[in-house]
Structure 1
Protein backbone atom coordinates (compact mmCIF):
# COMPACT_ATOMS: atom_id res chain seq x y z
CA UNK A 1 0.00 0.00 0.00
CA UNK A 2 1.80 3.11 -1.19
CA UNK A 3 -0.81 5.82 -0.49
CA UNK A 4 -0.53 7.26 3.01
CA UNK A 5 -2.68 10.19 4.11
CA UNK A 6 -1.56 12.18 7.13
CA UNK A 7 -4.96 12.80 8.63
CA UNK A 8 -7.21 14.03 11.37
CA UNK A 9 -11.02 13.93 11.13
CA UNK A 10 -11.24 17.60 12.21
CA UNK A 11 -8.97 18.81 9.42
CA UNK A 12 -9.24 19.29 5.67
CA UNK A 13 -7.88 15.77 5.37
CA UNK A 14 -11.38 14.56 6.24
CA UNK A 15 -12.48 15.77 2.81
CA UNK A 16 -9.51 14.10 1.15
CA UNK A 17 -10.97 10.71 2.12
CA UNK A 18 -13.69 11.29 -0.45
CA UNK A 19 -11.11 11.83 -3.18
CA UNK A 20 -9.28 8.67 -2.12
CA UNK A 21 -12.49 6.66 -2.16
CA UNK A 22 -13.36 7.98 -5.62
CA UNK A 23 -9.87 7.07 -6.88
CA UNK A 24 -10.49 3.51 -5.74
CA UNK A 25 -6.98 2.79 -4.50
CA UNK A 26 -6.10 1.25 -1.13
CA UNK A 27 -4.75 3.78 1.33
CA UNK A 28 -3.53 4.08 4.88
CA UNK A 29 -4.51 6.79 7.34
CA UNK A 30 -1.77 8.10 9.59
CA UNK A 31 -3.48 10.04 12.36
CA UNK A 32 -1.84 13.31 13.35
CA UNK A 33 -3.09 14.75 16.64
CA UNK A 34 -3.74 18.37 15.71
CA UNK A 35 -5.11 18.99 19.20
CA UNK A 36 -1.58 18.46 20.49
CA UNK A 37 0.06 20.31 17.60
CA UNK A 38 1.67 17.20 16.13
CA UNK A 39 1.27 18.64 12.62
CA UNK A 40 4.01 21.13 13.50
CA UNK A 41 6.44 18.41 14.54
CA UNK A 42 9.66 17.86 12.58
CA UNK A 43 8.46 14.64 10.96
CA UNK A 44 5.50 16.21 9.17
CA UNK A 45 7.18 19.58 8.58
CA UNK A 46 9.93 17.73 6.71
CA UNK A 47 7.26 16.53 4.31
CA UNK A 48 5.09 19.66 4.34
CA UNK A 49 6.86 22.84 5.45
CA UNK A 50 3.47 24.40 6.22
CA UNK A 51 2.93 21.80 8.92
CA UNK A 52 -0.66 21.24 7.83
CA UNK A 53 -3.07 18.53 6.80
CA UNK A 54 -3.78 16.94 4.40
CA UNK A 55 -0.38 15.66 3.37
CA UNK A 56 -0.33 12.68 1.01
CA UNK A 57 2.54 10.28 0.36
CA UNK A 58 2.48 8.11 -2.74
CA UNK A 59 5.68 6.14 -2.50
CA UNK A 60 8.42 8.76 -2.75
CA UNK A 61 6.03 11.46 -3.95
CA UNK A 62 4.63 13.97 -1.44
CA UNK A 63 1.61 16.06 -2.37
CA UNK A 64 0.11 18.78 -0.19
CA UNK A 65 -2.84 21.19 -0.55
CA UNK A 66 -6.28 19.58 -0.62
CA UNK A 67 -7.19 20.54 -4.19
CA UNK A 68 -3.78 19.51 -5.53
CA UNK A 69 -4.13 16.11 -3.89
CA UNK A 70 -7.52 15.62 -5.53
CA UNK A 71 -6.22 16.48 -9.00
CA UNK A 72 -3.10 14.36 -8.49
CA UNK A 73 -5.17 11.31 -7.55
CA UNK A 74 -7.44 11.76 -10.55
CA UNK A 75 -4.56 12.08 -13.03
CA UNK A 76 -2.53 9.31 -11.43
CA UNK A 77 -5.22 6.72 -10.81
CA UNK A 78 -8.32 7.60 -12.84
CA UNK A 79 -7.32 9.49 -16.01
CA UNK A 80 -10.19 9.80 -18.44
CA UNK A 81 -12.61 8.87 -15.68
CA UNK A 82 -12.18 11.38 -12.86
CA UNK A 83 -9.97 13.73 -14.89
CA UNK A 84 -10.39 14.64 -18.57
CA UNK A 85 -7.51 13.56 -20.77
CA UNK A 86 -4.87 16.16 -21.63
CA UNK A 87 -6.32 16.60 -25.12
CA UNK A 88 -9.95 16.68 -23.95
CA UNK A 89 -11.44 20.19 -24.47
CA UNK A 90 -13.24 19.82 -21.14
CA UNK A 91 -9.96 19.83 -19.25
CA UNK A 92 -9.92 23.61 -19.27
CA UNK A 93 -13.30 23.70 -17.52
CA UNK A 94 -12.17 20.99 -15.12
CA UNK A 95 -9.06 22.92 -14.10
CA UNK A 96 -10.84 26.27 -14.03
CA UNK A 97 -13.38 25.34 -11.39
CA UNK A 98 -10.98 23.13 -9.43
CA UNK A 99 -8.72 26.14 -8.87
CA UNK A 100 -11.63 28.56 -8.47
CA UNK A 101 -12.77 26.83 -5.28
CA UNK A 102 -9.69 27.44 -3.07
CA UNK A 103 -8.37 30.57 -4.79
CA UNK A 104 -11.61 32.56 -5.24
CA UNK A 105 -14.51 31.10 -3.23
CA UNK A 106 -12.61 30.54 -0.02
CA UNK A 107 -10.90 33.95 0.25
CA UNK A 108 -14.03 35.79 -0.90
CA UNK A 109 -16.04 34.14 1.87
CA UNK A 110 -13.28 34.78 4.42
CA UNK A 111 -13.17 38.44 3.41
CA UNK A 112 -16.92 38.80 3.85
CA UNK A 113 -17.13 36.91 7.13
CA UNK A 114 -14.10 38.68 8.62
CA UNK A 115 -14.97 42.14 7.33
CA UNK A 116 -11.69 42.61 5.49
CA UNK A 117 -11.07 45.97 3.88
CA UNK A 118 -9.25 45.64 0.57
CA UNK A 119 -9.13 46.94 -2.98
CA UNK A 120 -11.08 44.59 -5.20
CA UNK A 121 -8.84 45.26 -8.21
CA UNK A 122 -5.85 44.11 -6.16
CA UNK A 123 -7.47 40.91 -4.89
CA UNK A 124 -7.51 37.81 -7.05
CA UNK A 125 -10.93 36.87 -5.73
CA UNK A 126 -12.63 40.15 -6.64
CA UNK A 127 -15.76 40.49 -4.52
CA UNK A 128 -18.29 38.20 -2.89
CA UNK A 129 -21.21 38.89 -5.22
CA UNK A 130 -19.16 38.25 -8.35
CA UNK A 131 -17.85 35.04 -6.80
CA UNK A 132 -21.39 33.80 -6.08
CA UNK A 133 -22.52 34.52 -9.65
CA UNK A 134 -19.47 32.78 -11.09
CA UNK A 135 -19.90 29.74 -8.84
CA UNK A 136 -23.53 29.41 -9.91
CA UNK A 137 -22.48 29.57 -13.55
CA UNK A 138 -20.19 26.58 -13.01
CA UNK A 139 -23.27 24.47 -12.26
CA UNK A 140 -25.54 25.82 -14.96
CA UNK A 141 -24.92 23.18 -17.63
CA UNK A 142 -25.57 19.91 -15.88
CA UNK A 143 -25.71 18.04 -12.63
CA UNK A 144 -21.91 18.27 -12.39
CA UNK A 145 -19.14 20.67 -13.37
CA UNK A 146 -18.54 18.76 -16.62
CA UNK A 147 -22.23 18.32 -17.34
CA UNK A 148 -23.37 14.73 -17.07
CA UNK A 149 -19.94 13.38 -16.08
CA UNK A 150 -18.80 13.48 -12.47
CA UNK A 151 -15.14 14.40 -12.06
CA UNK A 152 -12.66 15.22 -9.33
CA UNK A 153 -13.52 18.89 -9.87
CA UNK A 154 -16.80 18.06 -8.14
CA UNK A 155 -14.92 16.75 -5.12
CA UNK A 156 -12.96 20.00 -4.90
CA UNK A 157 -15.81 22.42 -5.58
CA UNK A 158 -18.59 20.39 -4.02
CA UNK A 159 -16.59 19.58 -0.92
CA UNK A 160 -15.92 23.24 -0.25
CA UNK A 161 -19.53 24.26 -0.88
CA UNK A 162 -20.77 21.49 1.44
CA UNK A 163 -18.48 22.68 4.23
CA UNK A 164 -19.52 26.31 3.82
CA UNK A 165 -23.21 25.48 3.67
CA UNK A 166 -22.86 23.37 6.79
CA UNK A 167 -21.29 26.25 8.72
CA UNK A 168 -23.53 28.87 7.10
CA UNK A 169 -20.67 30.91 5.69
CA UNK A 170 -22.13 30.99 2.19
CA UNK A 171 -25.72 31.68 1.24
CA UNK A 172 -27.75 28.54 0.46
CA UNK A 173 -28.54 29.22 -3.18
CA UNK A 174 -30.64 26.48 -4.77
CA UNK A 175 -27.85 25.74 -7.24
CA UNK A 176 -25.49 24.98 -4.36
CA UNK A 177 -27.83 22.98 -2.14
CA UNK A 178 -29.11 20.87 -5.03
CA UNK A 179 -25.57 20.19 -6.22
CA UNK A 180 -24.36 19.11 -2.79
CA UNK A 181 -27.42 16.91 -2.34
CA UNK A 182 -26.55 15.09 -5.58
CA UNK A 183 -22.96 14.62 -4.47
CA UNK A 184 -24.09 13.25 -1.11
CA UNK A 185 -25.61 10.28 -2.96
CA UNK A 186 -22.28 9.06 -4.27
CA UNK A 187 -21.22 5.77 -2.66
CA UNK A 188 -17.61 6.96 -2.39
CA UNK A 189 -18.69 10.01 -0.42
CA UNK A 190 -20.81 7.88 1.89
CA UNK A 191 -17.90 5.51 2.50
CA UNK A 192 -15.65 8.45 3.33
CA UNK A 193 -18.21 9.91 5.73
CA UNK A 194 -18.59 6.55 7.46
CA UNK A 195 -14.84 6.26 7.90
CA UNK A 196 -14.56 9.82 9.21
CA UNK A 197 -17.29 9.05 11.74
CA UNK A 198 -15.58 5.82 12.80
CA UNK A 199 -12.29 7.67 13.25
CA UNK A 200 -13.94 10.35 15.39
CA UNK A 201 -15.43 7.66 17.57
CA UNK A 202 -12.11 5.80 17.77
CA UNK A 203 -10.35 8.97 18.86
CA UNK A 204 -13.05 9.85 21.38
CA UNK A 205 -14.15 12.97 19.52
CA UNK A 206 -17.69 14.29 19.27
Structure 2
Protein backbone atom coordinates (compact mmCIF):
# COMPACT_ATOMS: atom_id res chain seq x y z
CA UNK A 1 0.00 0.00 0.00
CA UNK A 2 2.82 2.38 0.82
CA UNK A 3 4.39 1.77 -2.59
CA UNK A 4 1.04 2.46 -4.26
CA UNK A 5 0.80 5.78 -2.38
CA UNK A 6 4.18 6.82 -3.77
CA UNK A 7 5.29 8.96 -0.83
CA UNK A 8 8.57 8.46 1.06
CA UNK A 9 8.34 6.22 4.12
CA UNK A 10 10.53 4.43 6.61
CA UNK A 11 10.18 0.81 7.64
CA UNK A 12 11.09 -0.58 11.01
CA UNK A 13 11.49 -4.34 10.92
CA UNK A 14 10.69 -6.34 14.04
CA UNK A 15 11.83 -9.83 14.78
CA UNK A 16 8.82 -12.10 14.59
CA UNK A 17 8.13 -13.58 17.99
CA UNK A 18 9.02 -12.18 21.43
CA UNK A 19 10.02 -8.63 20.33
CA UNK A 20 6.55 -8.13 18.85
CA UNK A 21 4.98 -8.96 22.21
CA UNK A 22 7.38 -6.81 24.23
CA UNK A 23 6.33 -3.67 26.08
CA UNK A 24 7.96 -1.30 23.57
CA UNK A 25 5.98 -2.53 20.60
CA UNK A 26 2.82 -3.22 22.60
CA UNK A 27 2.59 0.51 23.35
CA UNK A 28 2.13 0.93 19.58
CA UNK A 29 -0.11 -2.10 19.06
CA UNK A 30 -1.34 -3.79 22.25
CA UNK A 31 -2.11 -6.91 20.18
CA UNK A 32 1.59 -7.31 19.41
CA UNK A 33 0.81 -7.72 15.70
CA UNK A 34 2.28 -6.15 12.59
CA UNK A 35 1.89 -3.99 10.69
CA UNK A 36 1.37 -0.72 12.45
CA UNK A 37 1.54 2.64 10.74
CA UNK A 38 2.71 5.83 12.39
CA UNK A 39 1.86 8.96 10.42
CA UNK A 40 2.58 12.11 12.37
CA UNK A 41 0.82 11.67 15.70
CA UNK A 42 -1.57 9.04 14.35
CA UNK A 43 -1.04 5.31 14.85
CA UNK A 44 -3.11 2.93 12.75
CA UNK A 45 -3.15 -0.84 13.16
CA UNK A 46 -4.98 -3.57 11.23
CA UNK A 47 -4.24 -3.81 7.53
CA UNK A 48 -7.74 -2.94 6.31
CA UNK A 49 -7.73 0.19 8.47
CA UNK A 50 -4.25 1.12 7.22
CA UNK A 51 -5.39 0.74 3.60
CA UNK A 52 -8.48 2.89 4.16
CA UNK A 53 -6.50 5.48 6.14
CA UNK A 54 -3.80 5.84 3.50
CA UNK A 55 -6.29 5.93 0.62
CA UNK A 56 -8.24 8.77 2.22
CA UNK A 57 -5.22 10.63 3.60
CA UNK A 58 -3.47 10.64 0.22
CA UNK A 59 -6.34 11.07 -2.26
CA UNK A 60 -3.93 12.15 -5.00
CA UNK A 61 -2.79 8.50 -5.24
CA UNK A 62 -6.23 7.65 -6.64
CA UNK A 63 -6.78 4.66 -4.34
CA UNK A 64 -9.81 5.91 -2.41
CA UNK A 65 -13.21 4.88 -3.69
CA UNK A 66 -15.23 7.17 -5.91
CA UNK A 67 -18.75 7.77 -4.58
CA UNK A 68 -20.22 5.01 -6.76
CA UNK A 69 -17.51 2.57 -5.54
CA UNK A 70 -17.84 3.15 -1.80
CA UNK A 71 -20.29 0.35 -1.09
CA UNK A 72 -18.14 -2.30 -2.78
CA UNK A 73 -14.94 -0.77 -1.43
CA UNK A 74 -16.04 -1.06 2.19
CA UNK A 75 -17.92 -4.30 1.69
CA UNK A 76 -14.93 -6.18 0.29
CA UNK A 77 -12.35 -4.50 2.50
CA UNK A 78 -14.23 -5.57 5.63
CA UNK A 79 -15.36 -8.92 4.23
CA UNK A 80 -11.68 -9.71 3.73
CA UNK A 81 -10.62 -8.51 7.19
CA UNK A 82 -13.38 -10.53 8.85
CA UNK A 83 -14.81 -13.61 7.14
CA UNK A 84 -11.99 -14.21 4.64
CA UNK A 85 -9.15 -13.89 7.14
CA UNK A 86 -10.93 -16.03 9.74
CA UNK A 87 -12.05 -18.72 7.28
CA UNK A 88 -8.65 -19.01 5.59
CA UNK A 89 -6.79 -19.07 8.91
CA UNK A 90 -9.08 -21.71 10.37
CA UNK A 91 -8.85 -23.77 7.19
CA UNK A 92 -5.04 -23.59 7.21
CA UNK A 93 -5.03 -24.71 10.84
CA UNK A 94 -7.34 -27.62 10.07
CA UNK A 95 -10.22 -26.16 12.07
CA UNK A 96 -13.57 -27.37 10.75
CA UNK A 97 -16.59 -25.58 12.14
CA UNK A 98 -19.42 -28.04 12.87
CA UNK A 99 -22.60 -27.24 10.93
CA UNK A 100 -24.55 -26.52 14.12
CA UNK A 101 -21.90 -23.96 15.24
CA UNK A 102 -21.40 -22.09 11.95
CA UNK A 103 -23.71 -19.29 13.03
CA UNK A 104 -21.34 -18.50 15.90
CA UNK A 105 -18.15 -17.88 13.92
CA UNK A 106 -19.20 -14.89 11.86
CA UNK A 107 -18.45 -16.43 8.49
CA UNK A 108 -20.45 -19.63 8.35
CA UNK A 109 -18.12 -22.00 6.59
CA UNK A 110 -15.01 -22.00 4.43
CA UNK A 111 -16.77 -22.99 1.20
CA UNK A 112 -19.32 -20.17 1.44
CA UNK A 113 -16.55 -17.61 1.99
CA UNK A 114 -14.44 -18.96 -0.88
CA UNK A 115 -17.43 -19.08 -3.25
CA UNK A 116 -18.43 -15.52 -2.33
CA UNK A 117 -14.91 -14.17 -2.82
CA UNK A 118 -14.45 -16.10 -6.07
CA UNK A 119 -17.64 -14.61 -7.49
CA UNK A 120 -16.58 -11.11 -6.40
CA UNK A 121 -13.16 -11.23 -8.08
CA UNK A 122 -14.61 -12.64 -11.29
CA UNK A 123 -17.31 -9.99 -11.84
CA UNK A 124 -15.03 -7.03 -12.67
CA UNK A 125 -11.34 -6.44 -13.30
CA UNK A 126 -11.00 -5.10 -9.74
CA UNK A 127 -12.94 -5.63 -6.54
CA UNK A 128 -14.89 -2.36 -6.77
CA UNK A 129 -15.32 -2.41 -10.55
CA UNK A 130 -13.09 -1.25 -13.38
CA UNK A 131 -10.57 0.68 -11.27
CA UNK A 132 -7.82 -0.46 -8.90
CA UNK A 133 -8.33 0.82 -5.33
CA UNK A 134 -6.85 0.31 -1.89
CA UNK A 135 -9.36 -2.52 -1.38
CA UNK A 136 -7.52 -4.45 -4.10
CA UNK A 137 -4.29 -4.12 -2.14
CA UNK A 138 -5.85 -5.92 0.80
CA UNK A 139 -8.09 -8.37 -1.03
CA UNK A 140 -5.23 -9.11 -3.42
CA UNK A 141 -2.83 -9.88 -0.59
CA UNK A 142 -5.23 -12.53 0.69
CA UNK A 143 -5.85 -13.96 -2.76
CA UNK A 144 -2.29 -13.99 -4.10
CA UNK A 145 0.19 -13.84 -1.30
CA UNK A 146 -1.77 -15.73 1.31
CA UNK A 147 -4.31 -17.74 -0.63
CA UNK A 148 -2.59 -19.00 -3.76
CA UNK A 149 0.99 -18.93 -2.49
CA UNK A 150 0.26 -20.83 0.72
CA UNK A 151 -2.65 -22.88 -0.56
CA UNK A 152 -5.37 -21.47 1.67
CA UNK A 153 -7.44 -20.67 -1.43
CA UNK A 154 -8.02 -23.17 -4.23
CA UNK A 155 -6.96 -22.14 -7.75
CA UNK A 156 -10.17 -23.73 -9.07
CA UNK A 157 -11.94 -22.12 -11.98
CA UNK A 158 -9.12 -19.65 -12.51
CA UNK A 159 -10.88 -16.59 -11.03
CA UNK A 160 -8.38 -16.19 -8.20
CA UNK A 161 -5.41 -16.69 -10.52
CA UNK A 162 -6.79 -14.20 -13.06
CA UNK A 163 -7.43 -11.59 -10.35
CA UNK A 164 -3.95 -12.06 -8.88
CA UNK A 165 -2.41 -11.82 -12.37
CA UNK A 166 -4.01 -8.37 -12.76
CA UNK A 167 -2.43 -7.21 -9.50
CA UNK A 168 0.99 -8.83 -9.25
CA UNK A 169 2.53 -7.02 -12.21
CA UNK A 170 1.69 -3.54 -10.98
CA UNK A 171 4.93 -1.55 -10.56
CA UNK A 172 4.16 -0.81 -6.89
CA UNK A 173 3.51 -4.50 -6.22
CA UNK A 174 6.81 -5.45 -7.84
CA UNK A 175 8.67 -2.88 -5.73
CA UNK A 176 6.92 -4.00 -2.55
CA UNK A 177 7.69 -7.66 -3.28
CA UNK A 178 11.37 -6.87 -3.85
CA UNK A 179 11.51 -4.93 -0.57
CA UNK A 180 9.74 -7.75 1.31
CA UNK A 181 12.07 -10.39 -0.11
CA UNK A 182 15.15 -8.33 0.76
CA UNK A 183 13.89 -7.76 4.31
CA UNK A 184 13.07 -11.45 4.73
CA UNK A 185 16.52 -12.48 3.52
CA UNK A 186 18.20 -10.01 5.85
CA UNK A 187 16.27 -11.18 8.89
CA UNK A 188 16.31 -14.97 8.50
CA UNK A 189 15.87 -16.59 11.90
CA UNK A 190 15.02 -20.05 13.07
CA UNK A 191 12.51 -20.21 15.88
Q: Which of 47, 58, 71 is equivalent to 2:28?
A: 47
DSSP-derived class of the 1:63 partner: strand
Stretches of structure 2 that go unaligned for 5 or more consecutive residues are none
- When normalised by structure 2's length, the TM-score is 0.89
Residue 116 of structure 1 corresponds to 96
2:187 maps to 203
3-state DSSP of counterpart to 2:122: coil
1:98 aligns with 2:77: yes
Residue of 149, 161, 175 corresponding to 1:191: 175
Alignment partner, residue 178 of structure 1: 162
Deviation at 1:102, TM superposition (A): 2.0
Instruction: Count matched residues.
Output: 185
1-structure distance, mates of 2:87, 2:4: 28
Please give the per-residue CA displacement for 1:48-84, whole angstroms capped at 9, x wherever unaligned: 1111110110010000011111111111113681011
**Among residues 130, 139, 144, which one is paired with 1:148 in the alignment?**
130
Name whichever structure is richer in strand by fraction.
1
CA distance, structure 1, for counterparts of residue 41 and residue 155 of structure 2? 41
- Structure 1 counterpart of 2:113: 131
SS in 2 for 1:139: helix
Task: From the superposition, tell whether residues 132 and 89 of structure 1 become closer, same or farther in structure 2 (CA, over 3 Å).
Answer: same
Quote the offset at 1:122 in angstroms. 2.2
Task: Tell me the secondary structure at the aligned position of residue 34 of structure 1.
Answer: coil
- Single out whichever of 88-97 and 140-149 deviates more from structure 2: 140-149
Cα distance in 2 between the residues matched to 1:102 and 1:184: 20
CA distance in 2, matches of 1:195, 1:112: 29
3-state SS of the aligned residue for 2:37? strand
The runs of at least 4 consecutive aligned structure 1 residues that moved more than 6 Å come to: none
Pick from 116, 136, 148 the counterpart of residue 165 of structure 1: 148
Please, which of 53, 70, 82 is the counterpart of residue 72 of structure 1? Answer: 53
Q: Deviations over 1:70-102 (max 9, x none)?
A: 1111111136810114xx021010000011112
Give the TM-score, by structure 1 length: 0.83
Cα distance in 1 between the residues matched to 2:91 and 2:185: 34
Gaps spanning 5+ residues in structure 1: where?
A: 1-18
Of Structure 1 and Structure 2, which has the larger fraction of its residues in helix? 2
SS in 1 for 2:33: coil
For 2:107 and 2:9, locate their aligned partners in 1 and report how far apart those are by CA, in whole Å. 34
